[in-house]
Amino acid sequence: MPNGEKLLDNGVPHDLAMEVIRYARERDLHVQAYRDDQLLIERDRPEAHIYSEHAGMPLHLVPDLDAAMGPTTPKLVIVAAPATLERLLPDARAHWIGRLNVATSTPDYLE
């Protein structure tokens, strides 16, 4: 719209996004979120740079994803070794069944 008003927001609600972030934190996995087309990270890890280079997006290091995200985020991505994500995928799908679509877009991205 010309005035910048959103017509539809199908993003992940904040509380649900925080569940995913806590899940990643508890397993010491890199997790990132998005706000206003910015890639948000709270830890500067090699995985963040791998994703940033692949996506062609600059990183925005924030003190806390909880405070940095808006009411929704378009998606969350956990970046890890393919073997790690292969092991986590069934658990993550079962954990968020009916609430989130959990998939791997590449062997090292769980979205």
- Which residues are CB-neighbours of 86 under 8 A, at least 6 positions away? 107
Q: Is residue 26 assigned to a domain?
A: yes
Task: Answer whether residue 93 is part of any domain.
Answer: yes
Q: Identify the domain containing residue 50 by its residue range.
A: 16-110
6 falls within a domain: no
3-34 tens-digit pLDDT: 666 555 578 999 999 999 999 999 999 999 99
Say if 11 falls within a structural domain.
no
Residue 10 lies in a domain: no
The answer to the question of residue 99 being in a domain is yes
Tell me, yes or no, whether 5 lies in a domain: no
pLDDT tens for 50-99 read 999 999 999 999 999 999 999 999 999 999 999 999 999 999 999 999 99
- The domain total for the chain is 1
pTM of this structure: 0.88
What distance in Å separates the CA atoms of residue 63 and residue 50, rounded to the nearest whole number?
20
Q: Which CATH number is 62's domain given?
A: 3.30.1240.10
